[in-house]
Amino acid sequence: MPPPPLELEDMPAGPASGTLLARLDALPAHGGKELVFRDGNMVLRLLVQRYGHGAVVYENRCPHAGTPLNMFDDKFVDITGGRLICRTHGALFNIGDGKCVRGPCKGDHLRTVAVEIRDGAIYSI
């Protein structure tokens, strides 16, 4: 069972409700974007990935060892473009629900972030 979505406003370093996170038409061809929020020593990393006509947003933290999925840049998908991949040990995740389908955390989920998509843009709730 996936954990409930994160409410960013309640997270250390999380942005206020209603914050513009990304515009769909500004995502690169591979559809991914990393967002990093800082408040003092607190860091919150999110990943945005285009999915269908919209996008999904997850905490950028692998359920296996807690590292960010990407080692660099904004690319989160595997070579097929059909799954998210953790660069640390290669776990694969469904884009749509964040479930790990292969790798050391198989069956676990990425943490979903509560967002609203309207007028072609993604906002925190």
Give 53 or 72: the residue with its C-beta nearer to ligand FES: 72
Q: CB 65 → ligand FES: shortest distance, Å?
A: 4
Q: CB 75 → ligand FES: shortest distance, Å?
A: 15
3-state secondary structure of 108: coil
Q: CB 40 → ligand FES: shortest distance, Å?
A: 25
Give 37 or 76: the residue with its C-beta nearer to ligand FES: 76
Dihedral sign for Cα atoms in the order 34, 123, 55, 61: positive
Distance CA 71, CA 52 (A): 25
Give 22 or 86: the residue with its C-beta nearer to ligand FES: 86
- Say if residues 9 and 17 touch (Cβ distance below 8 Å): yes
